[in-house]
Amino acid sequence: MNIDKVQKLNKLAKELKKHKIVDNPNNVVSKAEQLFEKENNHLKRHTNRQENKDRLKKIERSVRKQNIRIQKNQESISEIIKKVNNIIKEINKTQAKPKPAKKIISEPKKDLNKPIDRNNIAPSKISVEKYFYYGQKKG
């Protein structure tokens, strides 16, 4: 036992003797201990209740904070989803509208045997090899 508890028990025992609550002087100390324990139990319950209330308040605060964070995250996710959907729509629009195809007018291939210049000389008749030959001449 600590000193404070002994002092409180002695004061309580004196008060019990003074007011003649206990008949037997030997039972005064035991009665004082019983009353003291009841008071301590009541105080413990009261402090436990208060501690529980404080814990509940802390838990409620943390739940509120988490709820606010979740709401902010949901809002940002919904904004991102909207942006992605808009991008998908734009992509689909560009894919759905085919670009007008250029009409390719096929020109007939020019025949190299036909003359194309003013002198009526065909390109096949003019050859670099005919004018510049760097080897032995055959036949």
Model pLDDT for residues 28-71, shown as the tens digit of each residue: 777 777 777 777 777 677 677 778 888 899 999 999 999 999 99
The answer as to whether 88 is a domain residue is: yes
Inside any domain, residue 14: yes
pLDDT of 130: 67
Taking the CA atoms of residue 15, residue 20, residue 26 and residue 31 in that order, the dihedral angle to the nearest 10 degrees is -60
**Which residues span the domain enclosing 56?**
3-99
Asked if the structure places residue 16 within a domain, the reply is yes
Look at residue 104 in the predicted model and tell me its pLDDT: 67
Query: Is residue 20 in some structural domain?
Result: yes
The reply to whether 61 falls in a domain is: yes
Task: Assess if residue 115 is contained within a domain.
Answer: no
At 77-113, the pLDDT tens digits run: 999 999 999 999 999 888 876 666 666 666 666 555 5
Residue 79: per-residue pLDDT? 96
Q: How far is CA 129 from the centre of its chain?
A: 76
Q: How many domains does the chain have?
A: 1
Could you give the angle at the alpha carbon of 37 between the alpha carbons of 34 and 43, nearest 5°?
145
How many Å apart are CA 120 and CA 128, to the nearest integer?
18
Provide the strand spans (E) within 10-122.
none
Q: Return the H-helix or E-strand segment holding 94.
A: helix 27-96
What's the one-letter identity of residue 83?
K
Residue 104 lies in a domain: no
